[in-house]
Chain A
Amino acid sequence: MAISVWLLGGPVASVRVRAPAMRTRTKYSKKMVIKNRLGFHVRPVQRFAELAGIFRSSIEVEIDGQRVSGKSMLGLVSLGGRCGSVMRITAMGEDARQAMGVLSYLVDQNFFVEDDLDKEKYPDRHITRLVTFASCFDSNVWVVCRGKKINVRDNEGLLSLGLRPTSRVEFLAEGLDSMQARQVLDTLASYQFYVEDEMGARARQKAD
């Protein structure tokens, strides 16, 4: 971006300002344990690869000395991660921190696989997922639903929206990582926030 400096009615200098933050190459690495009963099967892998694919950074996953791209379903399935396997996620690039935030939350939450989840206990898990994903980004993020626009940091406002996993929502984001933030949240909403009963219900309607 070029900024001209004016003095006594005329330009005297032109200063080039570098865009901050997102230009910096960074590397983040984290070891995590796969906790879900069926291991790193297709559902976890699909969710991981799709979210990883949103980021510009390179993302690698290593299990038992075998390392593959975190954006490739085929590569990730070939790791054969089981319940208890240790995976190392490495993200390198301008949005590595944001990628690591999103992906490590996904792994920590058993990839949102709900086979063994006590669903009654977490009726608002779709909102928790939305807020946590949004908090991985520096951008300001708003949810637009039923004509209302609410900042995701506004807890009371968010609850007042009466957001359901199947609600039609739109996300607005403003900041250096707004594109990735919107894509991550759009993906989340497109899968009914990974609330699997709702995803299943939609599939049943289609199949029956």
Chain B
Amino acid sequence: MLAYSIKRLLTLIPTLLAASILVFLFVHLIPGDPAAILLGDTATPEEVAQLSAEMGFDRSLWVQYMLWLGNVLQGDLGTSIFFREPVLSVIGNGAETSILLATMTMVWIIIIGLPIGILSATKHGTWMDQLTSSGAMLAASIPTFWLGLYLIMIFSVYLGWFPSSGFPSLSDEGGLSNLRYLLLPSLTLAAPNAALIVRLVRASMLDVAREDHVRTARAKGLHPSRVAIKHIFRNALISVAAAFGFTFAALISEAVVTETVFSLPGIGRLVVQSILRRDYPVIQGVILIIVVLYMVINLLVDLAYARLDPRVSLK
């Protein structure tokens, strides 16, 4: 498996490079002098000229790309115009929030989505199946920010059970109980994604249930729930596992809206604010990191695939 992972990582490199070129070009696609853009509106012409020379903006694009790439590989993603700090540390500040949010959301998705999906499939054809299927589709149609606003209104404003904004770090006072700040946001983010998982699990299980080996399992006199879990669900997991990986990746971008609604100091909100503030180095840095993350997730999904389906050979 290690050899396979390394091989796959190697094939990722061309795609990573191509994506990095796109990210690099991003700043240069913006109309205007890149150095002026990077320094922001308050820069003087001398500062602009100086940065231009430093960054090599007067040299060819290829050279600039190489310089940039070299910096990136050493961990230097540039400097934020707004914060006047290295981009990497700015992003790092938001990482804790975003990672915790994504993890909590995945937990909700698994504990809500999987059981309902399995239930829906096993009760196929009954009113329960109709209800959960339509309900899932409805839940997937709700805009996350709208759901978030209403959860805030009900649970924060009227009931006062949960806080409506912000997130103190776990290392601040309150410790783990600070996670309650992430409860509503993670539920908001989980709802539409759990719905998609429900539908996917249901569809996959119904497909598998028609296969011959399920009939064999029944012919062995196994209890129906054992057949449903060990023979139907386990086989359906093959298709579902890939979706989990991509859901996690999608969470990264969807978190943007949720973090804005709940004013969470995460990377998503950072991106939006940076866009509004025209803080291009930060935008560039975040995108780059997210792209890399996406590809790593792809790789993990492939590995999981091989683990779940013995027929897939790691060649």
Q: Do A and B come from one complex?
A: no
A residues with a Cβ closer than 8 A to B are none
B residues with a Cβ closer than 8 A to A are none
